[in-house]
Structure 1
Amino acid sequence: MNSFHTYFKNEFNSIYELADGSFANRGMNLSLYLEMAKRLNSHLTMHHTIEERHIFPVLAKKMPQFSTETEDAHIDSHKGIHKGSKEPSTYSPTEMRACLDGFREVLFRHLDEEVNDLRSENMKKYWTLEELESIPM
């Protein structure tokens, strides 16, 4: 999980850094830059869909932070991330950064919290090895 989350953070930071138009200095045109942003959104959507449909329901049985019933749980973070990533409809460097700023905090906090919640020391508090092996990951 950590490798996926590290990728998401690195990709987000690259998109943010290049939002000022400096993507042209790296041989990218606007179309390629926007494709990079769309790809991150697509990867986050796919990652969160898999988590919400297949992994979180199993984890939620013993770990409330993965439940749909718990306030400020990981699913709420997913909603905040995706709300922020859908806002831009035209390109402006200032608006792009404002859009990214709108969900950066919730994205990075969520990525860190999820990795922390799924570390082996924490999982041992909730699950036996046999139970963990049955989780679809």
Structure 2
Amino acid sequence: MSRRFLHSSAGFLFIRPIRIRPRSIPVRRLLSLQSTSDPRRPLKDRQQESARRNKAVCCGAEQSLLSKYFQFTSNIHTMSSQPVPEAAAAAPEVSQSRASGAEASCAAASEKTAVAPSAPEPEPKLPPLSAAEYREYNRLADSMEYFHNHFKQTWNMMYTAAGNNRRPANMTLRQFIDTGLAFVRQLTMHHNIEEQLLYPQLAVRMDDFRNQDGKKGGSKPSRKQSELLLQHRLIHEGMDRFEDYLTECRRGQLDFEMATLKTKMDDWNDVLWLHLDAEVETLKAENMRKYWTLPEMRRLQI
């Protein structure tokens, strides 16, 4: 680009050149210009030829697009008609085997979950008791232990004498037999008071004193009763045989023998001691406070 200057009386003037950008002409317009560039042809012929060429250009473009489309679809059909490679054919089997393995592992996990026992929930920790509260909650256990210690003392004396085949030195045979019969009467009265007075009160909330068929306490034998009531039944079965033998010896119907007495005591020795200890443990403060409040404990009678 060259700079041009004009000379005038005022001096030199700079004239800024004008930049001309070339214009692009569409193909259709060039064709029409070519067809109409010959001025010797008639105007109508030139217009028809221009329209014909424009139509040919459009048809050619459409044909190129259609040919590409048909070529693309034919390639797809060719690929679908070709046989599937072995690796591709084996893929569904592999996926199926993986799915079956996953199902097997899920089934095993579910079985383990079903078989595994659920862990028992820990019992809530209760606040410590004061000395006065402990005495009130443990009142029934103390009273029960007092009576049970008396029964244990009498039982130990008679069982030791039967095992040694010799009664205590300060006792006659009549006194020894009467001590055994008194033991039976006292224990029977003790159990009657428990089942008629104490157990029905405790059975309201404690299953240890309740029949499994819904009855509270009761003196009728039933294999569905709680463990403590069932122990009562077993104790009385052995105690009846023990009482019958002592009664017959007291009346002179049988000769008293220590070995026979020991056999009559062995039948219910274990269940008697188990019951005397288990009943006291059930009535202790640590267990009773789970079911009763302090005012309720004061209303329980023995």
- Note if contact 1:59-1:66 (Cα within 8 Å) is conserved in structure 2: yes
Q: 2:231 aligns to what?
A: 77
The one of 28, 35, 38 aligned to 2:178: 35
- Note if contact 1:67-1:73 (Cα within 8 Å) is conserved in structure 2: no
* CA offset digits 1:103-131 (Å, max 9, x no partner): 11111000100000000111001111111
* More contact order relative to length (CA 8 Å, sep ≥ 6): 1
The one of 275, 279, 287 aligned to 1:122: 287
**Partner SS for 2:241:** coil
The one of 259, 262, 269 aligned to 1:94: 259
Gapped runs of 5+ residues in structure 1? none
Q: 1:52 aligns to what?
A: 195
| TM-align CA RMSD | 1.5
Distance 1:9 1:114 in 2: 14
Distance 1:107 1:18 in 2: 18
* 1:11 matches 2:154: yes
**Partner SS for 1:136:** coil
**Partner SS for 2:152:** helix
* 1:61 matches 2:210: no
**Partner SS for 2:204:** coil
Q: Which amino acid in structure 2 is aligned with residue 40 of structure 1? A: F
Alpha-carbon shift at residue 21 of structure 1 (Å): 4.0
Q: Which has more radius of gyration?
A: 2
Gapped runs of 5+ residues in structure 2? 1-143, 213-223, 246-253
Alpha-carbon shift at residue 68 of structure 1 (Å): 2.5
- Note if contact 1:16-1:97 (Cα within 8 Å) is conserved in structure 2: yes
TM-score of the aligned structures, taking structure 1 as reference length: 0.91
* CA offset digits 1:11-63 (Å, max 9, x no partner): 1111111124411x513222111111111111111111110000001111111
Distance 1:76 1:32 in 2: 32
TM-score of the aligned structures, taking structure 2 as reference length: 0.43
Aligned length: 136
